[in-house]
Amino acid sequence: MSANQPSSSIPAPPSPEVKKRRFSISLVWLVPIVAGLIGLSMVIHSILLAGPQIQVSFETAEGLEANKTQVKYKNVVIGIVTDIVLSEDRTHVTATIELNKSAQPFTREDTQFWVVRPRIGTSGISGFDTLLSGTFIGADAGRSEVTKKDFIGLENPPAVTYGEKGKRFTLHTDDLGSLDIGSPVYYRRIQVGQVIAYSLSPDGKGVDIQVFINAPNDNFVTDDSRFWNASGVDVTVGANGVRVDAQSLSSIVAGGIAFREPNYSPDAKPAKEHHEFTLFKDQQMALSPPDGEPRYVQMRFDQSLRGLSVNAPVEFLGVNIGRVVSVDLDYDPVSKDFPAVVGAVIYPNRLGKAHDKLVQSVGGESEEQTAHLLKTLVDRGLRAQARTGNVLTGQLYIAFAFDPKAPKVKFNPSTKPLQVPTVPGSFDKLQEQLQAMIDKISKLPIDQIATNLNGSLAELQKTMKQVNGEMLPQMHQTLAQAQKTLETANTTLAEDSPERQQLTQALDEVQRTARSVRVLSDYLGRHPEALLRGRAKEAAPKSYEGTSTSRDIEQEP
């Protein structure tokens, strides 16, 4: 074979056979595919179960965390906080909440939200479990048909949640005192409700307190129930001693309210919800009979009223009929004095049966008739007087009493307000008497009396010296002689002495003589003729025969 032989004669190598390969997935990709499908299903599930999104504003974000803080209702999770932002004016924070689809009712307009954290209040310790589980947002679905997405959260948990059975009532009082939200409400010393809210009255002259009475105890609240402030301890000093009264320990610390119906209202009916009552200061004032229509009067005192304060009692013959409402100073340009003007509110109905009879005497109880009745009493000597109610504290009170020696005054029943005439107080009278006594003492010639007294004491001293120097020794000698005389008499009248025997015989003779005279007088009383004829022997009294006395008489001629 030569080198010039053509290459085509050389057989070509066989061409490789090309086979088409089928598409296949490695097992390595199976895990992310499954994970992606699960995630996709979860996303779809969350989208299907997703509820409404709302925003709730709070004053602070204390304890709140995005994607961690839960929203609960009755300890069931109904949503979660997804975002927390600060407001543009930096006055509050806004929490975005994703609610569950089943939590659609929590978008109602009157739904309430609040942060549950540990709190110590009047009703005790609340939110203690959040120390372990963390802070969460509490919710309470409302009843409104209107829904919204923006809410204002509460800074404190509501005292009563929606759906709780019971009734709400409104109490009117002058001031709140020691009451607070959560303060208990008692009925016969058993807690049946609590204070849920309070606010100033529309006119700003009082406080309106909202209380909630739990069912079924709300049926005990009648239209004639009386509410009073049961805060603190009530100490009463009476004829039976000191009495201490309190509802419970919590009412002493945090305040409380009690209510009960009076014993004289048997026809009372259960009160309707939102019924309004008056909150009295104490139980005695609450359960007392109705005071009726008040009357305002003024009194003018020309004396110092130190110790007289607002709310001091006004009494009529020992019966409390009102209280002092103002104590002001006035100026009299004529006398250049500063009299005190006292305003008081009196309740004539507190006089009881006396008031009924007085009303019948004037034919009614209108303002004009009351003024004419007061004029009649003033004409009879009715006067107002500031008296001392407590000697230790110096507190004063106003007393209405009749003074028959009071000077006559002109009372105008048409003057408004009515002006009740006054007389000086008992303490002022005592001061006047003491001053008069001091004036009399000051007028006495003290120097002259002292000079005369010194002279008299000098003469008395001389007399005492004379008595001690002359009279006392003589008296001592006289007493010694008297003692000797008594000793001689005792010796003379001794039991075995002749003088005592003679004295005994003399006494016996006197006794026999007296017996004879008595017998003779008896005989002459029966036989007076014996004075002329003499006594016959047969006429001798037999009752005296045989005695020594009768024998002596018979022997006489």
Question: CA–CA distance from 540 to each of 90, 526, 528 (Å)?
Answer: 149, 11, 13
The average pLDDT across 416-435 equals: 75
Q: How many helices and strands (H and E) does the chain possess?
A: 12, 25
| Closest to 93 measured CA to CA, from 132, 127, 60, 141 | 60
- Give pLDDT, residue 102: 85
The average pLDDT across 456-483 equals: 83
pLDDT at 85 over 90: yes
Beta strands at 257-260 and 93-100: parallel, antiparallel or unpaired: unpaired
**Cα–Cα distance measured from residue 259 to residue 277, given in angstroms and rounded to the nearest whole number:** 10
Q: Which residues contact 126 (CB under 8 A, 6 or more apart)?
A: 116, 118, 119, 157
- Give pLDDT, residue 74: 86
**329 phi and psi angles, rounded to 5 deg:** -100, 145
**Cα–Cα distance measured from residue 167 to residue 219, given in angstroms and rounded to the nearest whole number:** 9
Q: Which residues contact 82 (CB under 8 A, 6 or more apart)?
A: 53, 66, 67, 96, 97, 98
DSSP state of 337: B
What is the percent of the chain with per-residue pLDDT over 70, rounded to a whole number? 80
| Closest to 164 measured CA to CA, from 212, 210, 102 | 212
- Give pLDDT, residue 253: 54
Model confidence pLDDT, tens digit, residues 506-533: 888 888 888 888 888 888 878 777 777 7
Q: Of 46-50, 73-77, 341-345, where does mean pLDDT reach its minimum?
A: 46-50
**269 phi and psi angles, rounded to 5 deg:** -115, 155
**Cα–Cα distance measured from residue 87 to residue 152, given in angstroms and rounded to the nearest whole number:** 13
The average pLDDT across 481-488 equals: 84
Cβ neighbours of 221 (radius 10 Å): 26
Cβ neighbours of 203 (radius 10 Å): 6
Average pLDDT, the chain: 80
**Cα–Cα distance measured from residue 228 to residue 495, given in angstroms and rounded to the nearest whole number:** 96
Model confidence pLDDT, tens digit, residues 261-271: 887 767 788 99
> Which pair of tokens denotes residue 183?
């303060």
Measured distance between the N- and C-terminal CA atoms of the chain, rounded to whole angstroms: 247
Convert 192-228 into a string of H (helix), E (strand) and C (coil): EEEEEEEEECCCCCCEEEEEEEECCHHHHCECCCEEE
The average pLDDT across 542-556 equals: 44
Question: CA–CA distance from 278 to each of 232, 275, 377 (Å)?
Answer: 19, 10, 33
- Give pLDDT, residue 167: 92
pLDDT at 81 over 90: yes
Q: Are the beta carbons of 109 and 146 closer than 8 angstroms?
A: yes
- Give pLDDT, residue 237: 47
What is the band of 450 on the pLDDT scale with cuts at 50, 70, 90? confident
Is pTM beyond 0.85? Reply is no
pLDDT at 25 over 70: no
DSSP-based three-state secondary structure for 502: helix
| Closest to 71 measured CA to CA, from 111, 40, 98, 33 | 98
- Give pLDDT, residue 218: 92
**Cα–Cα distance measured from residue 159 to residue 181, given in angstroms and rounded to the nearest whole number:** 7
pLDDT at 55 over 80: yes
More confident residue, 207 or 487: 207
More confident residue, 254 or 388: 388
pLDDT at 439 over 80: no
pLDDT at 4 over 60: no
DSSP-based three-state secondary structure for 30: helix
- Give pLDDT, residue 86: 92
Cβ neighbours of 312 (radius 10 Å): 21
Place of tokens 């014993």: 263
- Give pLDDT, residue 132: 64
DSSP-based three-state secondary structure for 160: coil
| Closest to 234 measured CA to CA, from 279, 284, 176, 194 | 284
Q: Of 6-15, 273-282, 450-459, where does mean pLDDT reach its minimum?
A: 6-15
Q: Which residues contact 122 (CB under 8 A, 6 or more apart)?
A: 180, 181, 182, 183, 250, 253, 254, 255
- For 312, the enclosing helix (H) or strand (E) is none
**Cα–Cα distance measured from residue 156 to residue 113, given in angstroms and rounded to the nearest whole number:** 10
**Cα–Cα distance measured from residue 155 to residue 63, given in angstroms and rounded to the nearest whole number:** 13
- Give pLDDT, residue 463: 83
Write the DSSP string, 430-495. Answer: HHHHHHHHHHHHHHS-HHHHHHHHHHHHHHHHHHHHHIIIIIHHHHHHHHHHHHHHHHHHHHHT-T
Model confidence pLDDT, tens digit, residues 115-127: 988 766 555 555 5
pLDDT at 552 over 60: no
Out of 144-148, 162-166, 275-279, 303-307, give the one with best mean pLDDT.
Answer: 275-279
Model confidence pLDDT, tens digit, residues 196-239: 889 999 988 899 999 999 999 999 999 889 999 987 555 554 43
The sign of the dihedral angle between the CA atoms of 221, 223, 226, 231 is: positive
Convert 232-296 into a string of H (helix), E (strand) and C (coil): CCEEEEECCEEEEECCCHHHHHHCCEEEECCCCCCCCCECCCCCEEEEECCHHHHHCCCCCCCEE
Torsion of CA 224, 229, 230, 232, to 10 degrees: -170
